[in-house]
Amino acid sequence: MFACARKEEPGLAKACIGVRSMGGMERGFTVVVCRACEDPPCARVCPVDALAVRDAGGVLLDEDRCIGCGHCREACVIGAVFWDAEINKPMICRHCGVCAQYCPHGVLVLENRQNEGVGSRFQSGDVGAAGSGTAG
């Protein structure tokens, strides 16, 4: 999370990855990040085509086109479209791999798609109460 956010500025405000509790320390945590949908619902609902679908899956945001309507955030079924309240625009993982490279627990992995043999997709495991996890 910190590695992603620090690409832009210090702090977590610009992170395109989140960690959510699965119900307390006993149940662990889960990583929330764009899963690089092949047919992303966030792009389908954008009224100004500000989200371009990547060949490898997922989307890239054209900030100049984006009008800040928030439809993309509402359409993401896993809640992986984060919001930059300062500029009123979405923040979506670009699959650059920085978070996986610097993950201290080895929970995040950037992998090539198995079926198509091209592109990339994030996989993440749940981080258990002891802080361990497995890449999914």
Q: Per-residue pLDDT averaged across 87-94, rounded?
A: 94
Candidates 3.20.20.240, 3.30.70.20, 3.30.1120.130, 3.30.365.10; CATH matching 2-124 = 3.30.70.20
Q: Is the dihedral of CA 115, 33, 2, 91 positive or negative?
A: positive
pTM attached to this predicted model: 0.76
Is the predicted pLDDT of residue 124 greater than 70, yes or no?
A: no
Q: Per-residue pLDDT averaged across 58-84, rounded?
A: 96
How do residues 15-62 score in pLDDT, each as one tens digit? 898 888 888 888 888 889 999 998 999 999 999 999 999 988 889 999
Domain ranges of the chain: 2-124
